[in-house]
Structure 1
Amino acid sequence: MTPDERTVVDLVALAAADNRPGFDQLLSDMINDDGREHIYAAACRFIDSCRYC
């Protein structure tokens, strides 16, 4: 697994655990607040869609 793929897995896991502080910390050096909000919302929508599969 590449570092980028690992980061995506970690982000989804943090969102699934409702760990917003950890999610923000992981991305804080790379993406601004607005960008992190958008990505967090997308990760949560992804998780919600998987719960019904």
Structure 2
Amino acid sequence: MHPEIPRVLCPSCGEIMRLSRIHPDGNNKSEMLFVCDCGFNYRMSTRAQREAEDAQF
């Protein structure tokens, strides 16, 4: 996997989710859609991800 793409585990079944699409949102933000074979979908904002990483340091 590419280091910029997070590894997301499905909260429903625990399997690794697959990146379905990346949608640019503007202002250096984007939204990623992850899907799982069990049917669960998860959307993640890259801005929220970076803010969470910054809070760890």
TM-score of the superposition, structure 2-length normalised?
0.33
Richer in helix (by share): 1
Richer in strand (by share): 2
Higher relative contact order (CA 8 A, sep 6+): 1
- Which structure has the larger Rg over C-alpha atoms? 2
